Chain A
């Protein structure tokens, strides 16, 4: 068993999936489950081969610790979401294409994480971009797919440019070798670094490239949104890792201007991450669609991950990588619960739902645990990662970043609570009276993911040990652990103790509750209404404009999307002007421009 066989299974499985789905849709759906689960298990099989290299045709791969960690997170989200295909395959216009692209995008991600040279990296990167760009329009809208593709392409092209530049300077395309040979001035280093990380920033949805996330996540097929948020967005974090650790950015910028002990270019990116946290949080608070709300929360959490990875230190870096895992699982789970609700009710609009807890209690519990983790509340995985990030930021005194981190953290209570209150709690509309719990193969992955979130929240050791290996590989001090506890120089967290103490408190409260007289069960409509007679549950359900007073504070803010549309309008005008000059009725004018163009190009060739 080796890496190449995983890739072979995925690629062959993808192509075979096209034909199998044509024969039988259900078989195709099970194929996605089977291939992604196989990839996940095989990944554990090659765990001991870290450091070995593989070659196939022009492609070269290297099994690294960081690549393994990322591939593990991705395979897990793919495998869990794949179960939903069983129920949703009928609803797609082109199920065979969907199956193929679904498996191929996993192949692309896995190949990309283990790429040894830039060309392999770029080819697999594009494979992911193209496959996902064709899956998104299978959902609600095509426009979002265009925007996703354009934003991704901007990133890819910038990265390609950086790759070619590095190749020109060093003559090597092997990632580690080329970066180690690179010996350039600080300014050149800043340009190469900036261009290379561009693809990462666009993918992870850092401000101002966050516009594609809510559009794509919101309108992608319900089965693919969890993967976009839990998996594909994380590819950006991998690019950030390459550019900041392998580059290595801190050495290259050692002569740059320092802010709080961080080189200015990296600090600038951290500020962008902080802006993403704030914008993601504010926008998530005001969304009316549950999927868009979660998409904006992915923007915010992407900011945390980027900040953590950019720090490349003992604590925050570990926090960033753990947050990547915690958020991938929690966010994918939250998307899956919304998918389950959409499967049963046909809508994801918050204000059209309500009281789902009375019909889908398991889905509710799963969502509850997912959002507890997303909001960073113990005893879930998201708490441990946020704790590490906050401890790291505090130890460096990075106040502005810490401000954004706290804002995002407390703001997340607001936005995650909204679907909880308005979708799951509150009044149950009569039209949903006959609703049933999600089907069994939706419940299974949801419960597994919930278990993982809780387990890692109590015993973070199991993921932190992988991260410690990554830190050793990256040449930085690994985060230190003491038994079940994380023991760092300015803090101590024993998540297991926290869990036990919380359980103890819960036990006392439960005993107190049970000792007191039993409560009388009353109907949901039997509430205090200020002496008003209301018989329609929908009227008694508070779901629309949940945070109206707060939203009013920033409702007239300038929007990034409209800025881009204005820019594109200007670009069109320039195009029209060029069109007017070049494509005039007189052939002589066109000829003149062609001659001038050729002259300029050849002049450029002479000069360089």
Chain B
């Protein structure tokens, strides 16, 4: 751990933020076209964030502030763990379990801050968000376990490299098609996109956890949202789409995955929270387990492949 690592990590977080925020802006435009609107400029998202940061805000007590800082800190730390192309800010920290659990620090911080505001809508939203998490995370993690079992490593960077060495058909998208479908469905949940966005439903529970925020708190949560999107899409690209040998390749894949997720979200209605749980524990869970058993018992896709 040298000072250069920290500088690199800081620049990486900045880069990730700029990249994802631009893509969010572009996607706002795409979404607008889908709804036959003109849409805002591509850099509108930056303007929104900086404006929010500079405005006056309110605070409901120390945990309200502390939770936001803890959330953003946790998410930034998680971004630092993400391997892209051959870049790692710190060596040997790209373990998939570390990433998914450090991500939880950020989520917990935000949940804590939201509940600390004393607004019941926020608590309802957090309750829904956690229930949602129980739904989408389990099938996804089963696919991940299958992957660790087959490649004998839990390092995301190494899993991406294994796929790159085998060419396009070596991507896990082709080797574990069922698992990929499960992961893409889970991705909608992770991103909080429709049909699994009941925890921030604006018309039902006044945006749930976000209800009390304004000013710099809201600005930081915007940054948090963009960074956590970056983490989740990067996970999927690295695990299922072969990562990227260069930043450009990774960026293109990233853009495609995110845009598809967004388009799907654009045409979907919303599940109620219990419907979402039931849904995830039916098809995606079954598919994840079937994918796992195929790999473990027959080796199709891993030992027996082209």
Q: Give chain A's interface residues, CB within 8 Å of chain B.
A: 260, 355, 357-358, 361, 364, 368, 372, 375-378, 383, 386-387, 390-391, 393-397, 399-400, 402-403, 406-407, 410-411, 413-414, 417, 420-422, 425-427, 485, 489-494, 497-498, 500-502, 504-510, 512-513, 516-517, 519-522, 524-530, 540-542, 546-547, 549-550, 552-553
Contact = CB atoms under 8 A, between A and B. Distances in A.
A528 B212 contact: yes
Interface stretch (B18-26, B38-46, B108-116, B161-169): B108-116
A527 B212 contact: yes
Contacts of A527: 60, 117-119, 211-212
B57 to A, nearest CB: 4
Contacts of A521: 58-59, 61
A424 to B, nearest CB: 8
27 contacts: A364-B63, A377-B102, A377-B104, A378-B98, A378-B102, A387-B101, A394-B145, A397-B292, A399-B292, A402-B145, A403-B285, A414-B130, A414-B131, A414-B134, A417-B108, A417-B111, A491-B154, A505-B79, A506-B73, A509-B69, A509-B71, A512-B72, A517-B216, A519-B56, A521-B61, A522-B58, A553-B278
A546 B124 CA distance: 7
B284 interface: no
Nearest to B147: A394
B149 A397 contact: yes
A403 B145 CA distance: 9
Contact of A399 (B1, B98, B107, B289): B289
Interface stretch (B89-97, B245-253, B261-269): B89-97
Nearest to A520: B58
Interface stretch (B29-37, B136-144, B170-178, B235-243): B136-144
B152 A395 contact: yes
Contact of B154 (A368, A490, A547): A490
Contacts of A490: 148, 152-154
A366 B114 CA distance: 19
Nearest to A545: B127
Main secondary structure of the interface of B (DSSP, over half): helix
A410 B216 contact: no
B101 A376 contact: yes
Given A421-B126, A425-B112, A520-B59, A509 B134 contact: no
Nearest to A421: B115
B65 interface: yes
A554 to B, nearest CB: 10
Contacts of B70: 506, 509
Given A397-B292, A509-B220, A519-B56, 11 more contacts: A377-B104, A378-B102, A391-B97, A397-B145, A399-B293, A494-B93, A502-B102, A505-B75, A505-B78, A505-B79, A508-B72
A450 to B, nearest CB: 16
Contacts of B212: 527-528
Given A494-B92, A521-B59, A528-B212, A399 B278 contact: no
Contacts of B124: 542
Main secondary structure of the interface of A (DSSP, over half): helix
Interface of B: 1, 6, 9-10, 13, 53-63, 65, 68-81, 90, 92-93, 95, 97-98, 101-102, 104-105, 107-108, 111-112, 115-121, 123-124, 126-128, 130-131, 133-134, 137-138, 141-142, 144-146, 148-149, 152-155, 206, 211-212, 215-217, 219-220, 272-274, 277-278, 285, 289, 292-293, 296
Given A520-B59, A553-B274, A399 B146 contact: yes
A498 B108 contact: no
B59 A491 contact: no
A519 B149 contact: no
A396 B145 CA distance: 10
A355 B63 CA distance: 11
A506 B73 CA distance: 4
A528 B98 contact: no
B112 A550 contact: no
B73 A519 contact: no
Given A397-B149, A410-B138, A542-B124, A528 B119 contact: yes
Contact of B59 (A386, A425, A519): A519
A540 B118 contact: yes
Nearest to B133: A410
A417 B154 CA distance: 28
Given A413-B108, A427-B118, A395 B148 contact: yes
A423 to B, nearest CB: 11
Nearest to B295: A397
Contacts of A410: 133-134, 137-138
A504 B80 contact: yes
A314 to B, nearest CB: 14
B123 A517 contact: no
A332 B69 CA distance: 28
Contact of B92 (A396, A485, A519): A485
B69 A378 contact: no
B73 A508 contact: yes
**10 closest pairs, A vs B, by CB?**
A506-B73, A505-B76, A505-B77, A542-B120, A516-B216, A509-B72, A519-B59, A524-B118, A394-B148, A542-B123
B123 A421 contact: yes
A399 B295 CA distance: 11
Contact of B65 (A422, A493, A513): A513
Contact of A383 (B78, B92, B101, B120): B101
A375, A400, A403, A504 — which one has the most chain B CB atoms within 10 A of its CB? A504
B206 A425 contact: no
A357 B217 CA distance: 20
Nearest to A553: B274
B216 A519 contact: yes
A501 B211 CA distance: 30
Given A528-B206, A541-B120, A549-B131, A425 B115 contact: yes
A429 B273 CA distance: 30
B95 A375 contact: no
Contacts of B277: 550, 553
Given A378-B98, A407-B134, A502-B105, A425 B146 contact: no
B9 A406 contact: no
Contacts of B101: 376-378, 383, 386-387
A397 B148 CA distance: 9
Contacts of B123: 421-422, 425-426, 542, 546
B4 to A, nearest CB: 13
Contacts of A507: 73
Contacts of B131: 414, 547, 549-550
